[in-house]
Amino acid sequence: MKNESYSISDLAAEFDITSRSIRFYEEKGLIHPGRTQGNQRIYSPKDRIRLKLILRGKRFGYTLDEISKMIGLADVDVNEIDQIRSALSYGDKKLKEIGQRRKELKALETEMRTVREKLIRRLETLERKESDV
């Protein structure tokens, strides 16, 4: 989309989210739409990009506070090296969390399989006893 501006319904349709979600991100200070004379929100290409980054951040599991800090860096006089280092730091933290969750899920899967096998053996024992009666 190469428009100069977007309505809230344009962005909601493009990103398959509700208008309410977009207003929520505005309330949190993550996007800053302008207003028409009729007081309707009007979003710039920069707002559209920020919304795309917000949604990507949410998909990656970042909190809104983390997303705010990461995309907020673009508005502050921070050089690109610092922006990249900050994004890498957040990414490394998230990768560590994902690794920990994977270990926990693997342990849970192992435990559940063990319990399942015990239950199967117990069921077989009970069914044999019942058929012997």
Verdict on whether the full-model pTM lies above 0.85: no
Dihedral (C-alpha) 96, 63, 32, 80: value to the nearest 10 degrees?
Answer: -20
**Which tens digit of pLDDT belongs to each residue from 22-39?**
999 999 889 999 999 999
Domain boundaries defined on the chain = 1-60, 77-133
**Which tens digit of pLDDT belongs to each residue from 87-122?**
889 899 999 999 999 999 999 999 999 999 999 999
CATH tag, 1-60: 1.10.1660.10
